[in-house]
């Protein structure tokens, strides 16, 4: 998307706790520890995929509901970088239940404050 353009790629990982995990304090502590272990791996994976590109990039970890956190980050970037284009890019869900009950992509399509690119 930035090929031939100046800009920054903000990689956002939302460490989402499923509602069943949130019912147990011990499970929350265990999941947080697992997220702490996973974060450096995800950061390294992003670095590997973005290595050699002209664009600068940043990585941040958020915690909460995925769509909510992506909306907050996108709105924040838009406000801090006026005049720049901000786009949320997300992969569509392949789960059939998400087509009925809704997915992160569907939620974002309904309320994203910036353009949304859904990758199949």
pLDDT digit string, tens, across residues 50-60: 888 877 899 99
Domain regions of the chain by residue span:
1-63, 65-120
| pLDDT value at residue 8 | 87
Task: Give the predicted TM-score (pTM) of the model.
Answer: 0.81
pLDDT digit string, tens, across residues 75-92: 999 999 888 889 998 887
Mean pLDDT, rounded, for 91-103: 63
CB 90 within 8 A of CB 108: yes
Residue 61's alpha-carbon distances to 39, 80, 100, 102, 105, in angstroms, are 8, 18, 28, 23, 19
DSSP conformation letters of 105-116: HHHHHHH-SS-E
pLDDT digit string, tens, across residues 37-51: 999 999 999 999 988
Query: What are the DSSP E strand ranges found in the chain?
Result: 8-15, 56-63, 88-91, 116-119
């Amino acid at each position: 998307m930035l090929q031939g353009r100046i800009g920054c790629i903000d990689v956002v990982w939302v460490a989402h706790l499923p509602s069943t995990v949130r019912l147990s304090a011990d499970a929350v502590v265990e999941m947080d520890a697992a997220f702490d272990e996973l974060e450096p791996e995800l950061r390294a994976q992003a670095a590997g995929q973005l290595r050699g590109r002209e664009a600068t990039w940043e990585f941040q970890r958020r915690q909460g509901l995925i769509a909510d956190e992506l909306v907050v980050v996108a709105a924040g970037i838009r406000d801090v970088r006026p005049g720049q284009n901000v786009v949320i890019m997300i992969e569509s869900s392949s789960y059939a239940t998400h087509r009925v009950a809704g997915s992160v992509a569907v939620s974002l399509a309904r309320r994203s404050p910036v353009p949304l690119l859904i990758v199949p």
